[in-house]
Amino acid sequence: MAKAKRKSAKKIRKARISKPRVKKSKLLEKFAEEVESLAPEKPRNVQMKTTGKISYAVVNLVASGNLNATLDLYNLAVTIPNIEYEPEQFPGAILKLKEPKVSMLLFKNGKVICSGASSEKEIALGITKASKLIHEVQPNVKVQRDVEYNVVNLVATANLNQTLDLFKTAMSLDNVEYEPEQFPGAILRIDDPKITLLLFKNGKVICAGAKREEFLRKGLEKAAQLIKKIK
């Protein structure tokens, strides 16, 4: 019996979470930590929603935008106190705003990446405020009032409202990776819509990869259907 369990355990795919060997940038790591803070211990005021029997809340939106101007990052970093810039480590600068509480990754060509927003309204407000600050230093940068941006990643926490048998889930589904010795959660990847879910025994879920809330809901519903079929 014990041998059978060991053989079955070998069938479970190991989660490949090792990072590529590249030169580390402390500045970029700071930004990455903010982008990847998928389940903050004390989340900001987020709106709980439901889809089917699943409750969820969007906790982080990552979006890209364009200020349509060349930025003098060195001058901005010297003039604006809440900008971090280490060109020898990474070509971008990080601008942190307090309200809304978002971080903006700025590039010389005017491209920006906004992280930390809990709604698209916060994304638009963040880009507008960032453009105002930059406009005071670089008048050629126009204040972005009608903001154009693209959501590239939507992160949410969810609750399936049921206890999960992660071992059985990993054995029953091909698209699940589970290695309990390394991490207590299992990774479920869904192709359509393209979304990744981190599952925990208590039914809590962390979702990432969706570009629209509609895709997030569909992904959660599909995950619930797959888990329901497991006997």
Distance CA 54, CA 67 (A): 38
Give the model's pLDDT for residue 26. Answer: 58
Query: Above 70 in pLDDT, residue 84?
Result: yes
What's the pLDDT band for 145 if we cut at 50, 70, 90?
confident
What size, in residues, is the chain? 231
Residues 6+ apart with CB under 8 A from 93: 73, 76, 77, 83, 84, 85, 105, 106
Instruction: Please count the structural domains in the chain.
Output: 2
Query: Is the peptide bond preceding residue 100 cis, with omega within 30 degrees of 0?
Result: yes
Query: Above 90 in pLDDT, residue 48?
Result: no
Q: 165 and 146, same structural domain?
A: no
Q: 182 and 141, same structural domain?
A: no
Q: 178 and 211, same structural domain?
A: yes
User: Residue 81 is part of which domain span?
Assistant: 64-150
Give the model's pLDDT for residue 20. Answer: 34
Any domain includes 73: yes
Query: What would the mean pLDDT of 59-68 be, rounded to a whole number?
Result: 94
pLDDT above 70 covers a percentage of the chain that reads 80
Give the model's pLDDT for residue 53. Answer: 85
Query: What would the mean pLDDT of 21-41 be, rounded to a whole number?
Result: 47
Query: What would the mean pLDDT of 189-215 be, rounded to a whole number?
Result: 94
What's the CA dihedral at 199, 203, 204, 205 to 10 degrees? 40
Domain boundary among 115, 132, 150: 150
Domain boundary among 126, 150, 174: 150
What's the pLDDT band for 222 if we cut at 50, 70, 90?
very high
Tell me which of 34-38, 80-84, 121-125, 211-215 is least confident: 34-38
Any domain includes 97: yes
Give the model's pLDDT for residue 192. Answer: 92
Mean pLDDT score across all residues of the chain: 84
Give the model's pLDDT for residue 45. Answer: 61
Query: Above 70 in pLDDT, residue 216?
Result: yes
**Strand partners of residue 182:** none
Give the model's pLDDT for residue 47. Answer: 78
Any domain includes 32: no
CATH of residue 68's domain is 3.30.310.10
Q: 119 and 68, same structural domain?
A: yes
